[in-house]
Structure 1
């Protein structure tokens, strides 16, 4: 009998899941993709303001964002971007690419737009200990509720929509505006103001450069080693913010004081799955962590529930592509799973090794250099083609370029010459 799969979310991960389910018509019925908004694209869909219903914007996309990965490594391995596009793309081109992916693989008819998933819960196991089925309760734009049964659920709802704002002692004393990068859209309103940007990872750095170019004075506050590459005029660095004084001034870890008109938190996002009962699933869902997940994908107690794209600092689309194909191989039985206890032990051991290496709790899902071995392992186990070595090689080259010149690295264009070789093309 063909398996029915529910996909929660119509962003890149959800579309990738739908594409691969549709490519296996002998094993799977067409998927049902539940999408909260009226469009596909998830975080790649730019929203100028919060949605018309007065709810918060889902997307964290800002107007002038360009990708920090070249299209040559960002693409789904079986679906290249248009060749004539430059390597580093404005977000509109990524949205167009996802729409094209949707058309090309006939995914549109299977998406239920403006439909919220309210509850996903395991139904009783079949007599004889068969696989769990899932009851998915959804609600459409007219408020009509519906509960359906599926053999598997792919959670593809992303983790860039619930801002993480660390507590700052005395924050109520701050006289200016306080916002998270999730709400940032463009730089012009900050011209002539002093903006204290908290966090110097990709978005903190990108937004700081945008603000400085628009005439803001930026104080980049972070706990990393001092950035030594050239930053545009108008950006200074400081140690981490520790408190807001009674007079509204800001105090840093090194004891120095400063003043700012705006506090902007570029401090990441929380994992949030309001439609899941974590306790029932044997999961612990914290701000920066979901555990235990075997292979960063499934709760050992319920290995027909898959979280796609939960890892951080990865090459996202290729990673989703590997995770989805591995998950489908699990469902059709071509990848045998260890026992629940063995899966739990493996996850625990892996996390313990990271903690012993000094990895903080909030970075346990960061893969970085481990992502290549991880994707290779999924491909090997499930028998699909691994990522070509050129993806890693170019990804690492761009990472190096970004450390040397965060402002100009996007001026380069690349071409993939073979599975192992890339070359630089001058900007056209």
Structure 2
């Protein structure tokens, strides 16, 4: 469904919500909100879904469309478990005012990390710490947004997800404000600290200093624990799939995973392409299932 509006203007939050509500109204489907799936099992040729509150559903197929951002990722950083200060994830961040006058270290090098660090740096002393330097990319080139160029050149849709065991280093898409802030030292930029002692972080040069808050802008992972009974997840909790199709249990598929097929698989502009493909595969599976049932 077309988003509508001026294609050269960036939509705000309420416009995105309104688009999704219009999309939902068009669907010939029962939509149950505030209905959490606790577990998906399988037996006697059907999936059995246990829902919060005790109710159950059964289905021939299940599409896990809960996306790639359900669980904040907490990295294994030396000494973090014994840190005496405050540890937050970017998911918990709302406004910069509570950090006024503090010494803050923001861990990460992506959009959230840089934007949050720059915002807090207006009120506090902030360091942006990461294993890799921030890789800035211009948001607009020759009058067009970077994503316009990705779509026009076809790079946005290349089905290369199966070849990426881990996503490539993230680019920070910048209109110039944030690269200027980092260049000016607000926030300053350092390699990731090597350890923590009480409320102090230990930097790579051996120096240490008191830090009030460590804010982890370290991304997210899919929240798919409800599929664990199916053996559908690897040791890190990521789903075993090939371009959104099942590798473990026929009839189980995915939509909205990061790099499911392409760069835009987990975004509004790209998820529709994957959804069409997933729907066709699911329909083909149901057709085969029906033929087997009639043959039996």
Same fold (TM over 0.5): yes
For 2:48, which of 135, 139, 153 is the aligned residue?
135
Structure with the bigger RCO (C-alpha within 8 Å, sep 6+) is 2
CA distance in 1, matches of 2:22, 2:232: 38
Mapped to 2, the partners of 1:328 and 1:227 lie a distance apart of 36
CA shift, 1:183, in A, is 0.7
2:234 is equivalent to residue 311 of structure 1: no
8 Å contact 2:110–2:134 — kept in the other structure? no
1:227 CA displacement: 5.9
Alignment of 1:40-55 (within 5 A): none
Measure, in 1, the Cα distance between the counterparts of 2:37 and 2:2: 29
Gaps of 5+ in 1: 1-77, 126-132, 338-428
Tell me if 1:235 matches 2:155.
Answer: no
Aligned to 2:110: 201
Distance 1:135 1:299 in 2: 17
Choose from 25, 35, 38 the match for 1:118.
38
Q: TM-score, normalised by structure 1?
A: 0.50
CA distance in 1, matches of 2:215, 2:90: 6
Tell me by how many angstroms 1:151 deviates: 1.9
Who is 1:217 aligned against?
125
Moved more, 231-240 or 196-205: 231-240
**Which of 152, 166, 173 in structure 1 is aligned with 2:61?**
152
Deviation for aligned residue 1:192: 2.1
Rounded Cα–Cα distance in structure 1 between residues aligned with 2:128 and 2:109: 7
The alpha carbon displacement at 1:106 in A equals 4.2
- Alignment CA distance shift 1:135-1:175 (3 Å): closer
Paired residues of 1:79 and 1:101 also in contact (CA < 8 A): no
Verify: 1:95 aligned to 2:17, yes or no: yes
Using the TM superposition, give the Cα deviation of residue 162 of structure 1 relative to its aligned residue in structure 2, in angstroms.
1.8
Q: Which residue of 2 aligns with 1:79?
A: 2
Residue of structure 1 equivalent to 2:242: 294
| SS of alignment partner, residue 276 of structure 1 | helix
Secondary structure of the corresponding residue to residue 98 of structure 2: helix
- Rounded Cα–Cα distance in structure 1 between residues aligned with 2:232 and 2:8: 45
Computed over aligned residues only, the root mean square deviation of the Cα atoms, in angstroms, reads: 2.9
* Alpha-carbon distance between aligned partners in 2 of 1:284 and 1:172, rounded to the nearest angstrom: 25
Report the count of equivalent residues.
Answer: 240
Cα distance in 2 for residues equivalent to 1:172 and 1:282: 30
CA distance in 1, matches of 2:38, 2:117: 37
Q: How does 1:301-380 map to 2 (within 5 A)?
A: 301-312=248-259, 314-315=263-264, 316-333=267-284
- Work out the CA distance in 2 between the residues paired with 1:87 and 1:167: 39
Distance 1:153 1:167, change over 3 A: same
Q: Which has the higher strand share?
A: 2
- The answer on whether the counterparts of 2:69 and 2:223 sit within 8 Å (CA) in structure 1 is no
